[in-house]
Each structure stands twice: as structure tokens, then as C-alpha cells.
Chains A and B, each alone.
Chain A
Amino acid sequence: MKARIVVTLKSGVLDPQGKAIEGALKSIGVANIASVRQGKVFDIELDTADGEATQRALHEACEKLLANTIIEDYAIWHD
């Protein structure tokens, strides 16, 4: 099974990289950019087809390593 995890900074946590990118997009004249937050994407392959086992593994991966839940949220998609 294939999965994608997206980790983003919680709202309220300052994201200087996102701010810099936002500024750059505006400065090169891209229209209608209101704000930018930068995050991380993890594409993961699992060696199981079981949906429940997949969910469990991905949640554990996020909680134990991929996200620091003090400052980050995560979202999980899988096949």
C-alpha cells in the first residue's frame, strides 16, 4: 500500500520560511497570493494491504518520529 503524510506547522507557530517564500512569490509578481505556510511530505510504501494495520503504522510513525506534535500537525492519506 502507498501512503502520503503531510506535516505542517500548527497555526500560531511562526513559520519564517513560509513567510520568506510568501514574500518571494509576491515580489516576482504572482497574483492572488495571500499567505504561504511550508510543510513536509513523506511518501511511504507499506508491505501490507490491510487498511487498519496501515492506519496504525502511519499514526505511530507520525506520533513517534515524523511530527513534533508540540508545533506540528499531520495528515495521512493512503490507497
Chain B
Amino acid sequence: MTKALQAAVLLFPGSNREKDVARAITQATGQAPSFVWHDERSLPPGTDLVVLPGGFSYGDYLRCGAIAARARIMDSVRDHAERGGLVLGICNGFQILCESGLLPGVLLRNSDQRFICKFQALRVENAATRFTSAYKKNQVIHVAIAHGEGNYFVDAETTAELNISGRIAFRYCDGFGRADQRANPNGSIEDIAGVFSKNFNILGLMPHPENLIDALTGGEDGLGLFASLADSR
């Protein structure tokens, strides 16, 4: 039997979804993740997956994720990613990955200026990755979103590149899988909800799949992401 996926969840002052994501990882892999404080100089040996959880690191001061992106542990995360290690950033974690330059673009204030907290349909755009293999391409999943700054923005050239290379992971859509302005909750360019890095070892997304892992609490559509990661070893 292969060894279970070893995950490390980073903790910044103001992270608040770390236990949710830890529960999802434990449920999918059978192995609880370790927690790593932002001021550490290294990741635990044997780490396969680094998770940047949701929350409000540093109170969203300056720009969301800007200060966390310069934390000491991020040098180790960058090394880990360069070696091909997996990195997952959810919500504030996605903002941190963008601010650190590990993913392209930036998350702006929602176009209607409001904090949004609701169920949202997503369309799986690329199911041929280690993060999404348990889904089918164009599958519609229902997960939670909860953010004030989820309005994804990149220049036109990068958007084209993301499209061509299959680096768009999820798009906001309606219940029928139609991605358009009406289904887009926050103004994100091309309804983008999540993107991959060039080598598909980094995923950042605004929605919270870690909160949809149990039929008793709203559904299991988020579990596929963690099941994919568990199977990726």
C-alpha cells in the first residue's frame, strides 16, 4: 500500500478555515495534516501538499494576502513548488498565492462591493489534473463561497494563455453549467473561480470545497478535490 498523502496546512495570524480543510484532508486521505506556523523556516520533511487555508490573514491589511505572501514560510513554499510539490490555496490562500507571484493575476474587491456568502455552482473546466481527477470535465458542482475580494483579474494576454493551456480549473456557472455574467457572483474575468500554475502543481480557488464534504452539512461536492489529491500519490 502506498503511503498516504502528507499535507501541511499553513497558519497565518487571521487564518480561520484551517480546521475545515484539515477535516476534509483527513476524511479523504485517512491522514491528518500537520499545521505549520508562518514564521517557520521549513516544511515538515516528506510534505506532499501545502495548503494555504481561508481566512483574513493580517486582517486583510494593505491588500488581501499581501503581507502573508511575504511571510518567512513562503520561501519554503516556493522551493516546494519549484520541486513540483503540490500547493493548494483556498480563498485567502488563493489571494496569498497571487500576491506571492506563484499564481498569475490578482483578486480585486467584488464588483458589487459586497461580501458574498452563499452556495454557488461551479463548472469543472479541467478534470485531468491531480486536483480534479475525481471530477468529470464540465461537471457542475455546488460549493460555498464567502469572500469580499474574489474578483479575479489578469491581463488579456494571460487570460488567453490560461485558456489555451487548460489552466482554468473552475468557472462560476448556473445550475445548468452556463457560465456567464448572470452566474458570476463577483465580476471575475471570464467567470474564473480557480486557476492552476503552469505545471499544474499549484491550484488557487476562491470557493470553499472543504466545507462541502458531508451530506449532513450541505453536500459532498467538495470532497472530489480532496479525493483527487488522495489518489494523486
Chain A residues in contact with chain B, CB under 8 A? Answer: 13-14, 16-17, 20, 64-66, 68, 70-71
B-side contacts of A71, CB under 8 Å: 106, 108, 153
B109 close to A16 (CB less than 8 A): yes
B66 contacts chain A at the CB level, 8 A cutoff: yes
Closest to B155 in A: A70
Chain B residues in contact with chain A, CB under 8 A? Answer: 62-63, 66-67, 70, 99, 105-106, 108-113, 151, 153-155, 187
B-side contacts of A17, CB under 8 Å: 109, 113
- The number of A-B residue pairs with CB atoms under 8 Å apart is 32
B109 close to A64 (CB less than 8 A): no
> A41–B63 Cα gap in the complex (Å)?
13
A-side contacts of B151, CB under 8 Å: 14
| Majority-rule SS of A interface residues | helix
> A69–B99 Cα gap in the complex (Å)?
10
A-side contacts of B187, CB under 8 Å: 14
Check A68/B106 contact, CB under 8 A, given A13-B153, A14-B187: yes
> A13–B63 Cα gap in the complex (Å)?
15
Closest 7 CB pairs of A and B: A70-B106, A16-B113, A71-B106, A16-B109, A68-B106, A68-B63, A16-B111
- Chain B min CB distance to A26 (Å): 17
Sampled A-B contacts (23; CB under 8 Å): A14-B111, A16-B109, A16-B110, A16-B111, A17-B113, A20-B113, A64-B70, A65-B62, A65-B66, A65-B67, A65-B70, A66-B62, A68-B63, A68-B66, A68-B99, A68-B106, A70-B105, A70-B106, A70-B153, A70-B154, A71-B106, A71-B108, A71-B153
Closest to A42 in B: B62
Q: Which of A13, A16, A64 has the most chain B CB atoms inside 10 A of its CB?
A: A16
- Chain A min CB distance to B78 (Å): 15
> A65–B108 Cα gap in the complex (Å)?
16
Closest to A66 in B: B62
Closest to B154 in A: A70
> A20–B111 Cα gap in the complex (Å)?
11
Closest to A16 in B: B113
- Chain A min CB distance to B116 (Å): 13
B-side contacts of A14, CB under 8 Å: 108, 111, 151, 187
A-side contacts of B154, CB under 8 Å: 70
> A40–B161 Cα gap in the complex (Å)?
31
- Chain B min CB distance to A70 (Å): 5
A-side contacts of B153, CB under 8 Å: 13, 70-71
